[in-house]
């Protein structure tokens, strides 16, 4: 058996006729840039998120850059986020000239630890970027309470969490601005690059709309500095087809996760994904923690099973961000997760037989590698 980490073509086959029809319509109409489907997708995605506004943009990274610009965040200012995320979260902060300030993740959930948030807030802090990693919602009540009290903005990085919920609200709709990526492997993916910014604030939405299109409301006037961060009409047309299936796909992902957990529950030495007590997760990835991770990956690859590591090196230890002056040990919980995480194949179309095969190979691999305990070298949570 060969099992991919994400099989985007298998999903395409299930909606092929609708996608081809949608593409054909755009090709014949010719509104390739800022076409009808972009505006329609924006309305439909805002409705999905429960926000009054959505703006289609060129990628998730650009969505974050636009969100920071919309809040006039720049040089001399600080933005707090976690080191255990995809590089784009921090790239965006650096891109606008602000300084990324890290707060460690929670030991149980791997998302922003609100109990450590206040101690990194300074007079220069402008915003917090919580990342709903793997589709697991951050504790938004705690984060919003601190932001309100300290006068800070919240930009949610919801790039892995389309449709996840906290307290009955969809993520992205809870902070001031929510940012989404539609990179092909995300819970809803374009056939190329795309992203979106959502917000409840008309003024912020208007600014973002202007900035993604050269600061121009009408082609000839440029009322503020802008860029080309537009979403392609072809991608919007595909995303409209896919959005109709997103809820069902997220449910299928939860089913895949449930199936893995049922089969892996009794396996020794394995850290399973935490249950979400305060919200609803959407399993962008099903991530276990294992000893001897890299050997285990190799073993699984030999059984035809592709796995991933999200992410092996926390951002405070990446060369690109060396200027921030961090060293190993600065964010121990992020480092511990980074050393152990292993992403198993996760996508809505994954079949029971495949899940059983992966689970059995994982069990056999752990045994073959001599097991080993997970939590041996526990570090403190710094509290």
End-to-end CA distance of the chain, in Å?
Answer: 46
Task: Assess 88 for contact with ligand PLP (CB under 6 A).
Answer: yes
Helices 87-95/60-70 angle, 10° precision = 40
Question: Could you tell me the smallest distance in angstroms from the CB atom of residue 211 to ligand PLP?
Answer: 16
Question: Could you tell me the smallest distance in angstroms from the CB atom of residue 327 to ligand PLP?
Answer: 24
Question: Could you tell me the smallest distance in angstroms from the CB atom of residue 134 to ligand PLP?
Answer: 9
Q: Which of these ranges, 82-90, 112-120, 209-217, 256-264, lies near ligand PLP under the rule CB under 6 A?
A: 82-90
Q: Which of these ranges, 5-13, 58-66, 237-245, 263-271, lies near ligand PLP under the rule CB under 6 A?
A: 58-66
Looking at beta carbons only, is 56 or 195 nearer to ligand PLP?
195
Binding track, positions 132-161, relative to ligand PLP; x by CB under 6 A = -------------------------x-xx-
Question: Could you tell me the smallest distance in angstroms from the CB atom of residue 160 to ligand PLP?
Answer: 5
Helices 202-211/60-70 angle, 10° precision = 120
Distance CA 337, CA 85 (A): 11
Looking at beta carbons only, is 88 or 234 nearer to ligand PLP?
88
Burial of 61 (0-12, 13-18, 19+ CB in 10 A): buried
Distance CA 88, CA 59 (A): 10
Distance CA 71, CA 38 (A): 24
Two tokens at 318? 């990446």
Q: Which of these ranges, 8-16, 48-56, 57-65, 101-109, lies near ligand PLP under the rule CB under 6 A?
A: 57-65
Q: Which of these ranges, 85-93, 118-126, 232-240, 262-270, lies near ligand PLP under the rule CB under 6 A?
A: 85-93
Looking at beta carbons only, is 59 or 346 nearer to ligand PLP?
59
Task: Assess 85 for contact with ligand PLP (CB under 6 A).
Answer: yes
Task: Assess 89 for contact with ligand PLP (CB under 6 A).
Answer: yes
Task: Assess 59 for contact with ligand PLP (CB under 6 A).
Answer: yes
User: 84 with 113: CB under 8 angstroms?
Assistant: no
User: 51 with 73: CB under 8 angstroms?
Assistant: no
Distance CA 108, CA 93 (A): 26
Q: Looking only at residues 166 through 205 of this chain, which bind ligand PLP when binding is defined by CB under 6 A?
A: 181, 183, 195
Among 61, 81, 113, 199, binds ligand PLP (CB under 6 A): 61
The C-alpha torsion from 185 through 188 and 194 to 199, rounded to 10°, is: -130
Task: Assess 229 for contact with ligand PLP (CB under 6 A).
Answer: no
Looking at beta carbons only, is 86 or 299 nearer to ligand PLP?
86
- For residue 3, which of 343, 349, 305, 284 has the smallest C-alpha distance? 305
Question: Could you tell me the smallest distance in angstroms from the CB atom of residue 204 to ligand PLP?
Answer: 19
Task: Assess 60 for contact with ligand PLP (CB under 6 A).
Answer: yes
Task: Assess 86 for contact with ligand PLP (CB under 6 A).
Answer: yes
User: 311 with 342: CB under 8 angstroms?
Assistant: no
Looking only at the bridges linking them, the beta strands covering 125-129 and 78-81 are parallel
Question: Could you tell me the smallest distance in angstroms from the CB atom of residue 59 to ligand PLP?
Answer: 4
Provide the b/e sequence for 161-193 (b: ≥16 CB within 10 Å): bbbbbbeebbbbbbbbbbbbbbbbbbbbbbbeb
Contacts with ligand PLP, residue ranges (CB under 6 A): 59-61, 85-86, 88-89, 131, 157, 159-160, 181, 183, 195
């Amino acid at each position: 058996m060969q099992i991919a980490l994400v099989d985007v073509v298998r999903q395409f086959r299930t909606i092929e006729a609708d996608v081809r029809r949608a593409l054909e319509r755009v090709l014949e109409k010719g509104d390739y840039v800022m076409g009808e489907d972009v505006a329609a997708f924006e309305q439909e995605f805002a409705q999905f998120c429960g926000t009054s506004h959505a703006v289609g943009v060129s990628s998730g990274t650009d969505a974050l850059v636009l969100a920071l610009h919309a809040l006039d965040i720049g040089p001399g200012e600080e933005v707090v986020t976690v080191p255990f995320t995809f590089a784009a979260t921090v790239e965006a902060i650096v891109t606008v000239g602000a300084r990324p300030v890290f707060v460690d993740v929670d030991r149980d959930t791997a998302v922003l630890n609100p109990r450590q948030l206040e101690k990194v807030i300074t007079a220069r802090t402008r915003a917090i970027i919580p990342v709903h990693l793997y589709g697991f919602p951050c504790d938004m009540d705690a984060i919003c309470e601190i932001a309100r009290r300290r006068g800070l903005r919240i930009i949610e990085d919801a790039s892995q969490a389309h449709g996840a919920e906290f307290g009955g609200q969809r993520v992205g709709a809870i902070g001031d601005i929510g940012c989404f990526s539609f990179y092909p492997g995300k819970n809803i993916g374009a056939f190329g690059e795309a992203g979106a910014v959502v917000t409840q604030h008309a003024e912020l939405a208007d600014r973002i709309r202007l900035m993604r299109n050269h600061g121009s409301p009408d082609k000839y006037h440029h009322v503020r500095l802008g860029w080309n961060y537009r979403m392609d009409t072809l991608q919007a047309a595909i995303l409209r087809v896919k959005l109709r299936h997103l809820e069902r796909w997220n449910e299928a992902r939860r089913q895949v996760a449930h199936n893995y957990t049922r089969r892996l529950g009794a396996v020794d030495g394995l850290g399973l994904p935490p249950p979400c007590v305060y919200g609803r997760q959407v399993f962008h990835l099903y991530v276990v923690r294992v000893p001897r991770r890299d050997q285990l990956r190799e073993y699984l690859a030999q059984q035809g099973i592709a796995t991933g590591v999200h992410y092996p090196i926390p951002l405070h230890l990446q060369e690109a961000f060396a200027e921030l002056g961090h060293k190993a040990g600065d964010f121990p919980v992020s480092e511990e997760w980074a050393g152990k995480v292993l992403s198993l194949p996760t996508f809505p179309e994954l079949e029971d037989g495949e899940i059983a095969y992966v689970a059995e190979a994982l069990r056999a691999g752990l045994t073959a590698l001599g097991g080993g305990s997970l939590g041996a070298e526990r570090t403190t949570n710094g509290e």
